[in-house]
Amino acid sequence: MKKVGRSGAKSAPPRTVFQIPAVQALLFQISSLFIVLLLAYSLAAVTDWSMNVLVAASLQGVIAAGLSWWRGLAPWWLLIQLLFLPVLLLTLTLQWSPFIFLAAFLVLLFLYWSTFRTQVPYYPSRLSTWQAVAGLLPSEQKISFIDIGSGLGGLVLSLARQRPDSRFIGIEIAPLPWLVSSVRARLYGSTARFERGDYGRLDFADYDVVFAYLSPAAMPALWRKAKAEMRSGSLLLSYEFIIPEAAPDIVLSPDSSGVQLYGWRI
């Protein structure tokens, strides 16, 4: 299974550190803190009313989320900004052991790894998507297929089981999903292979089909790489996310969710 938005891809690197979404989110939280402090002191001076901590934390989250929306950060950042401080206060109130936070941090670190840089979170694809992809693969020849940002490896394992004549590879930059997919391949005795790394270092000319389930932020860079490297007659597939500057040759709806699978013939 692949979890959306997907951690194993690489988008074009930010030109400055302040263009990294995680840095922007942190700056918005700091700015919101000063705004809330100024507002609280002003209200106390004028009305003699003291803002309690929970109200202040919630207001800071609303302001940070608003700034994130204004600057065009991805939707998941809005939710993080809104809930970060209230959830932090809640956990402090419950007096949880610090080891819980350490364990949670390590799991998230190895799951999402460089998401702060790539802007590609962990997205899941479905069985219906795997079936739709299988139906698009050339049946009359052996192929070389790669899933860039392969997550837990569900798509690659499924295709390798259906097409033992061909080569199916997944590449994933986050350690935990890569480890899980590699273990699954060994346990199932699959011919699928999983590599840990950045797809930006691959040569797409080595593959007949490239499949991506990334994020809107990664699509322009993916298209530039595909045009520069993929061979004539090869196929680029993207689940859910369109390439803004290139009309797709294939548009399929694998299931009733309305999420589409796009294809570009190179």
pLDDT digits (tens, 9 = 90+) for 71-90: 887 677 788 888 888 887 87
Residue 5: predicted pLDDT: 39
| Lowest pLDDT segment from 9-18, 21-30, 31-40, 43-52 | 9-18
Tell me: the pLDDT tens digits for 183-200? Answer: 999 999 999 999 988 898
* CA gap 104, 179 in Å, rounded: 18
Residue 233: predicted pLDDT: 92
Of the ranges 73-77, 138-142, 180-184, the best mean pLDDT one: 180-184
Mean per-residue pLDDT, 118-123: 50
Residue 209: predicted pLDDT: 97
* CA gap 184, 182 in Å, rounded: 5
Residue 257: predicted pLDDT: 77
Mean per-residue pLDDT, 217-240: 93
Q: Between 21 and 35, name the one with better pLDDT.
A: 35
Domain with CATH 3.40.50.150 in the chain: 124-265
Tell me: the pLDDT tens digits for 236-261? Answer: 999 988 998 899 999 999 888 788 99
Nearest by Cα to 29 from 51, 53, 74, 61: 61
Mean per-residue pLDDT, 170-179: 86
- Can you give the chain as a three-state secondary structure string? CCEECCCCCCCCCCCCHHHCHHHHHHHHHHHHHHHHHHHHHHHHHHHCCCCCHHHHHHHHHHHHHHHHHHCCCCHHHHHHHHHHHHHHHHHHHHCCCHHHHHHHHHHHHHHHCCHHHHCCCCEECCHHHHHHHHHHCCCCCCCEEEEECCCCCHHHHHHHHHCCCCEEEEEECCHHHHHHHHHHHHHHCCCCEEEECCHHHCCHHHCCEEEECCCHHHHHHHHHHHHHHCCCCCEEEEECCCCCCCCCCEEECCCCCCCCEEEEEC
**Looking at the predicted structure, is the pLDDT value of residue 19 above 70?**
no
Residue 18: predicted pLDDT: 62
- CATH number at 124-265: 3.40.50.150
In sequence order, which residues have a C-beta less than 8 Å from that of residue 239 and are 6 or more positions away? 125, 129, 211, 212, 213, 259, 260, 261, 262
Backbone angles phi, psi at 207, to 5 degrees: -130, 145
Q: Between 238 and 22, name the one with better pLDDT.
A: 238
Q: How confident is the model at residue 100 (pLDDT cuts 50, 70, 90)?
A: low
**Looking at the predicted structure, is the pLDDT value of residue 163 above 60?**
yes
**What predicted TM-score, i.e. pTM, was given to this entire model?**
0.63
% of the chain with per-residue pLDDT over 70: 80
